[in-house]
Each structure stands twice: as structure tokens, then as C-alpha cells.
Amino acid sequence: MLFRSGLPEGYTLNVGDDYIYGYSTLTLAGGDFTNDGTIVVYNSDELFLDADVSLIGSGAVKLDPSSYGIQGDVRTTLTVGPDQRLSGGAPISVPIINNGTLEADSGTMTLSAGLTNHGTVKTAQAGTMDLHGTVSSDNDIT
């Protein structure tokens, strides 16, 4: 599926793999988004948050190291739901509240605006994680 614009609040992604292809931006308007597929942010793409966003459902977001990662307006927060997995290695410029899994498994995942962790945060394979801002965690960050 090719995205070149925004998704309305409450949109459900549920068809296997939903890719963002070359040089595009997927904008989430804010609110809850049910992701039961896989969003791949790839090759100079970005996931942009217009307002606070909660990713819920059983899906995953993969950040390719060649992407611009997750960006957002000032004071925008991303909440990762308990069954969501955010992985890869790219910059994330918004604060994250993690209730699921964050995994730096390729390149460097840079969280520049802080992290509140209630889930799992880890590095794997050739990945590294660079944390900036206020970081708090109920669990070990490995």
C-alpha cells in the first residue's frame, strides 16, 4: 500500500504489510490508530505526528536506518501500545510512552525527546540506542 498523505483519526491498518515507499510522509492526525499490520518507514520516508498518537493493536513499525524515522509537532507524544513493536534504527524526535516493545536492531535508534518506559526496551543484532531527554523506566533497558 502506498501512502503519500495523512490518515484520519482512528484509522485501522490491518492488511499484512503496509509499506511507505520512497520519499514520502505518512501523517497521523492524532488519536488512537489500530495497527494490526506492519508499517515500514523506509528510504527517506518519515512517519509524522500532527498531534498525540497512540498506536494500538497487534502490529509493528519498522524504522529503516535510511529513513527520517518518526517526527512530530512540538509537544506531540507517541504512545506505543502493549502489543505493538517499534524496531529498527532511525531518529525519533517526539517523546515516547512505551507500553510495548522498542528494539534497536539495525543502525542507531535515537530518541531525542525522552522516554517513559512501562514495557520492553532492548538492543539486538547490530543495533544501538541513543537516549536523550528525560528517561524513566519500570523495567531494565537492555
Cα separation, 26 vs 47, in Å, equals: 5
User: 52-68 in b/e burial notation, b at 16+ Cβ within 10 A?
Assistant: bbbbbbebbbbbbbebb
Per-residue pLDDT of 89-105, as tens digits, reads 999 999 999 999 999 99
Per-residue pLDDT of 20-60, as tens digits, reads 656 688 888 889 988 888 888 888 888 999 999 999 999 99
